[in-house]
Structure 1
Amino acid sequence: MLKEELTEAYHFIFEEELIEEIAKFGTLREVKAGEKIIEIGEYVKNMPLLLEGAIKIMREDKDGDELLLYFLERGDTCAMTLSCCLGQTKSEIRAIAEKDTKLIMIPIEKMEEWTARYKSWRNFVFESYHTRLSEMLDTIDTIAFLNMDQRLMRYLQDKAKINGDALIQVTHQEIAYDLHTSRVVISRLLKKLELEGRIKLQRNSIQVIDL
């Protein structure tokens, strides 16, 4: 069963022999939406490969406020987790299930072994670094160059895409946490976006019209 799920999610990336090893040595984990997968300050001993669902990666400043860096979907892994695993350092990010998620945890020693044995694994690791770096640079650009209403709209569009549904189940306070701002600001901007016809506000949910 696990091998079938791995094949479906990663057959276009990994050869069959590597998929068999992942199924043999990896540990299946299922988490509910909102559950923490990796916490800041923890030593990371396993690398997650997503089979289904989505994860949001958060950064925390010295005051304890959070900022959303990027989302992970099926077929992804987290470059910052890779870095912590290989360097055996503490995690600098928090990983939270965006929705019910199934993943397989790869032990550090196998990561190192597969990097030497499988070209597909090496390519996957390097491509993951490149993709996540590009997404973090995009986040920096968004913070530096976009107005908060533009950041908010992009956030809603990304969240709708990740969840595969234009109707997002989220509170104004949750959005404020993710975008590192206040609930009052978010509520005001959401009302502005609704007046512009780009979203429709509902109780604890938002319908994204402008996708």
Structure 2
Amino acid sequence: MSNETEDLVHQILGRSEIEPQLAEEILSIGRLKKVKAGGVVISPDSTGNEMPIVLEGLLKVMRQDQTGGEVFLYFLEGGETCAMSITCCIEGKKKAFHVVAEEDSVLWMIPMAYIDSWVVKYKSFRKFVFDAYQTRFDEMLNTIDSVVFLKMDQRLYKYLLDKKQASGTFVINKTHEQIANELNTSRVVVSRLLKQLEREGKIEQYRNRIEIM
């Protein structure tokens, strides 16, 4: 394993906070996984019980309903994990969400069999998991608020700003149909609202590309 990868793994739980023994276990038990943009990390049909931690790149979490429809929930950035995957695996529940690579990503996969004992044994890992739950809870509340209280144009602009914040770039390479699928609306609605945002000077549009001003 390269020194660069080892440094990234140590940074996951907060550099100096991580116990040396935990760092050794993470390195020896976990495995490196590279996912191309668009690749599925977790799906409702996933059989593997592993917790993904993002080392590099960006993942998106999508909620799936009984009819197969999906809606965007939140992004996972470097050093973050999916709290929903922990809950489903520990409780043995069927997953009702997808985790997809928004861009080429490097992940550290940890078997779920070790999560319970690490939470009890290591303070830094317990804090990492609880912080992940709190962060995801806050983000899902924001998502619920946007669905309930915001008009679609406000939801769309919030989605674009969230994407910019998570990816660290003002350029969003997505089609209108892709955005519509993630917001659980129609392409026609998204196209109309993007034109409205462009007239307001908030964005500029190009072919399969949006730039936030």
Q: TM-score range by the shorter chain?
A: over 0.9
- TM-score normalised over the length of structure 1: 0.94
1:44, 1:81 within 8 Å by CA — same for their partners in 2? no
Which one of 145, 160, 168 corresponds to residue 141 of structure 1? Answer: 145
1:3, 1:20 within 8 Å by CA — same for their partners in 2? no
CA distance 1:93–1:28, change in 2 (3 Å)? same
Distance, in Å, in 2 between the alignment partners of 1:196 and 1:53 is 31
Give the match's secondary structure for 2:110: strand
1:44, 1:85 within 8 Å by CA — same for their partners in 2? no
Which one of 163, 176, 181 corresponds to residue 180 of structure 2? Answer: 176
Gaps of 5+ in 2: none
Distance, in Å, in 2 between the alignment partners of 1:118 and 1:85 is 20
Distance, in Å, in 1 between the alignment partners of 2:20 and 2:104 is 27
Q: State the Cα deviation string for residues 19-58 of structure 1 (Å, max 9, x = none).
A: 2211110011000011101011434511111111111000
C-alpha displacement of 1:16: 3.1
2:201 aligned partner, one-letter code? G
**Which residues of 2 match residues 121-200 of structure 1 at below 5 A?**
121-200=125-204
**Equivalent in the alignment of 2:108:** 104
Gaps of 5+ in 1: none
Distance, in Å, in 1 between the alignment partners of 2:20 and 2:210 is 42
C-alpha displacement of 1:127: 1.4
**Equivalent in the alignment of 2:82:** 78
Q: State the Cα deviation string for residues 126-179 of structure 1 (Å, max 9, x = none).
A: 111111111111100000000000000011111112221101111000000000
In the TM superposition, structure 1's runs of 4+ consecutive aligned residues that sit over 4 Å from their partners are: none
Q: What percent of counterpart residues are identical? A: 46
Give the match's secondary structure for 2:80: coil
- TM-score normalised over the length of structure 2: 0.94
**Equivalent in the alignment of 1:18:** 22
1:3 aligned partner, one-letter code? E
**Equivalent in the alignment of 2:6:** 3
